[in-house]
Amino acid sequence: MTGPSLSRRSLLRGGAAAGLAALAGCGAVAAAGPWAVPVPDGVSHQDVAVVRPPHRDVAIEHLRDLLERAEPIVERARSAGVFEGERFLGYEGSVASAREFLDGSHAASFDTISEARYHVRYVAETFGVAAAGLDDVSIELSGAAQTGPAAGIEDLRGTLSYESDGPAETMVWIDLVESWLHAAVIAGKNAEVDRDELAEKPERVRKKALARAVRNHERSVRFLSDARQFYRTFRARQSAPASIGLTAAREAYRERAQESSHDNEWYHERHTDEETPRDTAWNRLLTLHPGENSLDDAEWARRDGLSGLETVQLAEAAVEFQGFSTGRDAVERLRGRQSVPKRLLFDAKRRAVDGAYRIAAAGDPFEKWLLRRAAMYLSKGDRFLTDGEILDNYPRAHALACYGVAVGVVDAIPSVASVVTD
């Protein structure tokens, strides 16, 4: 956020009440600008999930094993001059940095597994360049430098089941588990290479493809492992699990989204030459495509067999499509105007922020999760008002479209979340 923001943890502890009180008399804030109104940003994975010591240990050991395989190959490559002329000059430094990380002590936390993943990526990139330069890459899943998807993706995908004590919290866990699993799938696809096909390519192209494949293989392994560990933690935390209606929710969300979705031609036909603030705001609304990106993400999740992630993303699409309607209403308030009054901007943002604080204070975990979508649009609006590098005659018009979308997103959250939680 460009303006001041209360931390999500203070909100979850009851800080939202203070935020609402502050908004009760915000004439001074309005004078400064709507970007100065603080916004709750919703919960994150860390607010719901935990990292257990076994998860930390597995992440650390993966990095340790990768280093043990990589270091002798990297040393051979260094002696052979493989790294000379490479654009990325930090190859050998990434190995030393990872070794330094392993020599320290680490709590079982999101920060630890994120840092382990960071080091895996760059050590694997170094490993890939070294092994490709030495022509020491195995296309099969054996050997020191490997390519292809992580083994076990299908096993995990086929066993996912989300009976739980509470559906609202479970939706956040689902997003966590299946987002990492989806990342493992995507990295795995990018790790696939065909040795015969590569043989016909120039040496530079072949080496680059092999190096990228090695890096993505290790990333696929890391993401899959994280997804598996989070899933095990989720299951271990359920004491009296009951089934939640993901299939019915998915169909309900898909129906809502399909009622509001437009194709690219629809958007293209409605763009207009910009002469007035209303034209600018309308074009911004069309460029935002509220809900369309989430709907596309849901389709990718469906194609990759991740029905839980598809459900979460369809829910996000459903709240955003309602934002298109309120965004359009906000834009229409500019008809006939030659400027955008600051009060109009402030009223739009205040409507969204008032509702956002109510959800942050009293909403369930899934409602607070969906609140992130509203925070994203509010942040976009703020940037148009504060980013001095945006060269535009009507930055307030852009901001109004964003704030208008956020109003509808906030208003839609309770009913969308209740599809799963009621």
Q: How is residue 389 annotated by DSSP?
A: T
- State the pLDDT at residue 141: 64
Tell me the pLDDT tens digit for each residue of 15-35.
444 444 444 444 445 556 788
Tell me the pLDDT tens digit for each residue of 253-268.
999 988 888 888 888 8
> What's the predicted TM-score (pTM) here?
0.88
* Residue 361, φ and ψ in degrees, nearest 5: -85, -40
Tell me the pLDDT tens digit for each residue of 281-293.
999 999 999 999 9
Q: Are 223 and 152 in contact (CB under 8 A)?
A: no
Mean pLDDT for the stretch of residues 95-108: 95
- State the pLDDT at residue 261: 87
Of the pLDDT bands very low, low, confident and very high (cuts 50, 70, 90), residue 86 is: low
Q: Are 133 and 207 in contact (CB under 8 A)?
A: yes
Report which of 190, 167, 318 is spatially closest to residue 246, judged by C-alpha positions. Answer: 167
- State the pLDDT at residue 260: 86
- State the pLDDT at residue 35: 83
Output the CA angle 87-90-95, nearest 5 degrees: 140
Q: Report the distance separating Cα 382 and Cα 201, nearest Å.
A: 48
Q: Report the distance separating Cα 417 and Cα 422, nearest Å.
A: 8
pLDDT greater than 90 at residue 411: yes
Q: Are 193 and 147 in contact (CB under 8 A)?
A: yes
Both tokens assigned to 131: 């092994």
